[in-house]
Structure 1
Amino acid sequence: MLGVSETPFLVREAVSDEDRAACFAVRKEVFVAEQGVAEEIEYDEYDASAVHVLAVRAEDGVALGTGRLLFGDAGLAKTGDASVGSLGRLAVAKAARGLGVGIALVRAIEECAAARGLSAVDLHAQTHALGFYERLGYEAYGPEFLDAGIPHRGMRRVLGE
């Protein structure tokens, strides 16, 4: 069992081309291969300006998960409010699920949002993941909708609460 201060993974902002490639590889594994999302819609025009975060296994740097934050014009386009960031493309490799990687990625994205002066984080959660985000302080709003053929709901968390 791991001690309180020990973690089997590290989370960092993906700044190098290699880091971003690892993020995209995890997304391809989870969304395209596992969930059947068409590859041509998985990657979009927002990827270039997004803040990407990457979780890697501490012992060898193998990519375990990823997520992204949209802010500024991209965030405004997604949320309708320039002070609200958009968390998206959160993906954890099947072998890493249950280790707390998803929680760490969400918290890292929230830290990135707060560091950029954003007041809240919005996301579109797959409905099976609503409970996960609710446990992290997100509140669902609006009706269920389909995105890439998968049921979703909008959710938001005000930062600092």
Structure 2
Amino acid sequence: MSLFVRLADWQTDKATIRDIRQKVFVEEQKVPADLEWDEHEETAQHFLIYHHNKAIGTGRLTGGGKIGRMAILKEARGLGAGLELLKRICKFARISGQKNAYLNAQVHAIPFYEKASFTVTGEEFMEADIPHVRMELTLSESEPSENLDDWNR
């Protein structure tokens, strides 16, 4: 399938991360730029997903197991990249010691997150003028063991 997820560093990968999120959130979804970039950028663990060596998506994990800023470029949707990225972020959260993961899903994306076993746990709310719901997942401990050193190999 030629999809590859790797850990990203805000300092060295900022331009790539920003480019993807600018296209998806600011240009496509009309999220105000001042809402897209926040105080968590430098402390979050960022991820990039590649297809044929081209970065096509990004996501991040912040404190307490919160997954956010999941974005796949429009021309790369339908390749399974979003689900692969989400699974890898969840795996990273689990091996980092998190027991649960959560996210604020855009309402139209609920079925996507349900495919990854997330469940809606909250009422609908507005974020950046887009309807969202909180979704949660209990992270499985039954997967094969892996540790953080195995990641960028």
Query: Hey, what does 1:100 align to over in structure 2?
Result: 80
Q: 1:143·1:153 contact (CA, 8 Å) conserved in 2?
A: yes
TM-score for both structures, normalised by structure 1: 0.83
CA RMSD for the aligned pairs? 1.3
Where structure 2 has 5 or more consecutive residues not aligned to the other structure, the ranges are 142-153
What amino acid is aligned across from residue 60 of structure 2 in structure 1? R
Query: Hey, what does 1:25 align to over in structure 2?
Result: 19
Among candidates 31, 35, 46, match of residue 40 of structure 2:
46
Cα distance change on mapping 1:30 and 1:16 into 2, 3 Å = closer
Query: Hey, what does 1:121 align to over in structure 2?
Result: 101
| Distance in 1 separating the partners of 2:91 and 2:74 | 25
| Distance in 1 separating the partners of 2:14 and 2:108 | 27
Please list, as runs of the form range in 1=range in 2, the aligned pairs for 1:2-151 lying within 5 A after superposition. Answer: 7-15=1-9, 17-58=11-52, 61-71=53-63, 75=64, 85-151=65-131
Cα displacement string for residues 61-113 of structure 1 (whole angstroms, at most 9, x for unaligned residues) = 32100000002xxx3xxxxxxxxx00000000001000011001101111111
What amino acid is aligned across from residue 58 of structure 2 in structure 1? T
SS in 2 for 1:103: helix
Give the superposition deviation at 1:56.
1.5
Query: Hey, what does 2:147 align to over in structure 1?
Result: none
What amino acid is aligned across from residue 6 of structure 2 in structure 1? R
TM-score for both structures, normalised by structure 2: 0.87
Aligned length: 141
Where structure 1 has 5 or more consecutive residues not aligned to the other structure, the ranges are 1-6, 76-84
What amino acid is aligned across from residue 84 of structure 2 in structure 1? A
Runs (4+) of structure 1 exceeding 6 A deviation are none
